[in-house]
């Protein structure tokens, strides 16, 4: 798969048709005008408070995620393939989680090592045997997808705990419509603004059976110091629900209530943006001040739905990722529509030997890592860095997987020296309640440094507006 990167726009006669008007627009627009528009976008983002703290940079709460003003386009056929593959994948992941905390038929059939599931840091024994509303564990999933050719899409990883980034998808579109209305006039771009409405519908659809009348939904945040706090407050505001922190909630007689000026109000569904260990000091970390004492007891009693479900992190594990194609076959009886990236599991001796012998050619990832942390991009690492990482692998081979260095597709990006190709990925957001809902597009992340393959916002990547275009 390594080789010359696929240019999603193309040039001249080889240019892809959906980009024809974008090419004309870029040729006709002076660079100083594009630079002015980029400054205007930054002003809008800063004025509305769209920030993202990067902990490795000191957690600056006022840091902006760089925004690229050149949109990324997908045509209807491409989106049709992606959306069908995403729906299939999320259904299989949900079935795996339901089975993991139930009969464990996938394990008993020898499809996945038992230790990889039961000894996984994301596995929560307290979830065993629970009956969840609608049988849904993965209410909101962010599935990271890359492409290497015209019809070649690969799933890079699954995010089934508390995936972030959807607010940037929505705000990117808002800014593009404000700055470049003429571009929207020449393209039939499918909307994304209805995502908060779809999310609220999904959350209400999985209210517990004990809920009487219209479900009350609240968004639980760790607080203003969290890197994604803007997104938490944005989504709560857009859905018209309360944004709460742990002390705002209480449990009485196995029912969750929200403290309000009018007295306690029952809460039926909690969209939590808080990791499992911090949810309930009585069940997990006793030192946490972020959670709600007794929340798990109410959850087990079936009086409240938590989205995403506690313990969904098992499906996030990058070693478990290797088994998703088999999950699709086992639980759905179908062949995968979207392929995994070929993966070596360092826990297996032969794979580990291959990875250590080819560190200069592969990308190595910590199976429990996220945000681009704990990884080695072999071709871009120094010899010393590779040697240091090799010792980590040897010490704990079960903690690492490796993948070939994919030649990720590129999109035209406005950088300091003009318009140039930069590598991108895509995080579509899949909602799962009584049915699967996917808004067209997702968050395109772009590696702004020339030659870089690391697109994560936490590692200095930027974002683009993603257009699914008809005609």
Q: How confident is the model at residue 371 (pLDDT cuts 50, 70, 90)?
A: low
**Cα–Cα distance between 213 and 211 in angstroms, integer?**
6
Q: Is the pLDDT of residue 54 over 70?
A: no
Looking at the domain assignment, is residue 357 inside a domain?
yes
* 318 and 383, same domain (yes or no): no
Three-class HEC string of 323-353: HHHHHHHHHHCCCCCCEECCCEECCCHHHHH
Q: Total structural domains in the chain? A: 2
Query: Is 11 exposed, middle or buried (CB count within 10 Å of its CB: 0-12, 13-18, 19+)?
Result: exposed
Q: Which residue has the tokens 């007794």?
A: 294
* 433 and 376, same domain (yes or no): no
Give backbone dihedrals phi and psi of 357, rounded to 5 degrees, phi first: -80, -15
Q: How confident is the model at residue 52 (pLDDT cuts 50, 70, 90)?
A: low
CATH at residue 372: 3.30.1490.270
Q: Is the pLDDT of residue 61 over 60?
A: no
Q: Is the pLDDT of residue 60 over 80?
A: no
* 78 and 179, same domain (yes or no): yes
pLDDT at res. 212: 85
Q: Which residue has the tokens 């000894």?
A: 119
Looking at the domain assignment, is residue 5 inside a domain?
no
Looking at the domain assignment, is residue 439 inside a domain?
yes
Stretch 405-410: mean pLDDT: 89
Stretch 375-393: mean pLDDT: 92
Half-sphere exposure of 334 (CA within 13 A, CB side): 14
* 25 and 160, same domain (yes or no): yes
* 418 and 454, same domain (yes or no): yes
* 124 and 245, same domain (yes or no): yes
* 320 and 388, same domain (yes or no): no
Stretch 238-259: mean pLDDT: 98
> For the chain, what is the radius of gyration of the CA atoms?
22
**Cα–Cα distance between 270 and 206 in angstroms, integer?**
11
Last residue of a domain, one of 363, 380, 404: 404
Last residue of a domain, one of 404, 428, 445: 404
* 276 and 368, same domain (yes or no): no
**Cα–Cα distance between 266 and 268 in angstroms, integer?**
7
**Cα–Cα distance between 364 and 359 in angstroms, integer?**
8
* 366 and 253, same domain (yes or no): no
Looking at the domain assignment, is residue 299 inside a domain?
yes
Looking at the domain assignment, is residue 6 inside a domain?
no
Domain span at residue 127?
12-340+406-470
Looking at the domain assignment, is residue 435 inside a domain?
yes
Q: What is the DSSP string of 240-307?
A: T-EEE-GGGEEEETTEEEE--TTS-EE--EEEE-S-GGGS-TTTS-TT-SSS-TTHHHHHHHTS-EEE
Last residue of a domain, one of 376, 404, 432: 404
* 297 and 384, same domain (yes or no): no
Percent of the chain exceeding pLDDT 70 equals: 94
* 452 and 399, same domain (yes or no): no
Residues linked to residue 373 through DSSP beta bridges, in sequence order: none
Looking at the domain assignment, is residue 4 inside a domain?
no
Looking at the domain assignment, is residue 168 inside a domain?
yes
- Encode pLDDT of 113-165 as tens digits: 999 999 999 999 999 999 999 999 999 999 999 999 988 999 999 999 999 99
Contacts of 72 (CB under 8 A, 6+ apart): 8, 411, 424, 426, 444, 464, 465, 466, 467
* 283 and 386, same domain (yes or no): no
- Encode pLDDT of 412-460 as tens digits: 999 988 999 999 999 999 999 999 999 999 999 999 888 888 787 766 7
């Amino acid at each position: 798969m390594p080789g010359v990167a696929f240019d999603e726009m193309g040039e001249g006669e080889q240019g892809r048709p959906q980009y024809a008007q974008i090419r004309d627009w870029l040729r006709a627009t002076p660079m100083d005008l594009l630079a002015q528009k980029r400054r205007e976008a930054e002003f809008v983002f800063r004025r509305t408070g769209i920030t993202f703290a990067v902990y490795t940079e000191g957690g600056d709460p006022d840091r902006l995620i760089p925004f690229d003003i050149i949109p990324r386009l997908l045509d209807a056929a491409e989106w049709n393939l992606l959306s069908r593959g995403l729906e299939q994948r999320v259904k299989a992941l949900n079935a795996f989680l339901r089975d993991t905390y139930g009969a464990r038929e996938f394990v008993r059939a020898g499809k996945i090592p038992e230790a990889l599931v039961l000894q996984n840091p994301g596995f929560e024994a307290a979830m065993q045997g629970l009956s969840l509303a609608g049988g849904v564990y993965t209410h909101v999933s962010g599935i990271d997808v890359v492409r290497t050719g015209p019809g070649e899409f690969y799933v890079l990883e699954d995010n089934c705990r508390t995936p972030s980034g959807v607010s940037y998808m929505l705000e990117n579109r808002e800014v593009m419509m404000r700055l470049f209305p003429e571009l929207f006039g020449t393209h039939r771009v499918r909307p994304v603004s209805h995502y908060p409405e779809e999310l609220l519908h999904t959350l209400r659809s999985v209210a517990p059976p004990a809920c009487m009348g219209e479900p009350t939904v609240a968004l639980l945040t760790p607080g203003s110091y969290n890197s994604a706090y803007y997104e938490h407050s944005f989504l709560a505001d857009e859905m018209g629900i309360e944004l709460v922190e742990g002390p705002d909630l209480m449990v009485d007689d196995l029912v969750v209530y929200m403290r309000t000026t009018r007295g306690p109000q029952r809460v039926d569904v909690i969209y939590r943006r808080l990791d499992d260990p911090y949810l309930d000091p009585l069940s997990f970390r006793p030192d946490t001040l972020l959670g709600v004492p007794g929340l798990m007891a109410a959850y087990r009693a079936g009086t409240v739905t938590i989205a995403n479900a506690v313990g969904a992190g098992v499906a996030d594990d990058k070693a478990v990722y290797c088994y998703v194609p088999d999950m699709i076959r086992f639980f759905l009886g179908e062949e995968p529509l979207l392929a995994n990236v070929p993966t070596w599991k360092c826990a297996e001796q032969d794979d580990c030997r291959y990875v250590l012998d080819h560190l200069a050619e592969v990308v190595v990832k910590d199976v429990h890592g996220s945000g681009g942390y704990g990884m080695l991009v072999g071709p871009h690492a120094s010899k010393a860095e590779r040697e240091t990482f090799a010792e980590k692998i040897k010490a704990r081979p079960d903690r690492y997987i490796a993948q070939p260095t994919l030649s990720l597709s590129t999109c035209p990006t406005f950088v300091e020296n003009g318009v140039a190709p930069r590598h991108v990925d895509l995080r579509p957001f899949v909602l799962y309640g009584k049915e699967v809902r996917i808004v067209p597009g997702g968050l395109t992340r772009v590696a702004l440094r020339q030659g870089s393959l690391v697109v994560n916002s936490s590692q200095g990547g930027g974002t683009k507006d993603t257009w699914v275009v008809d005609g």
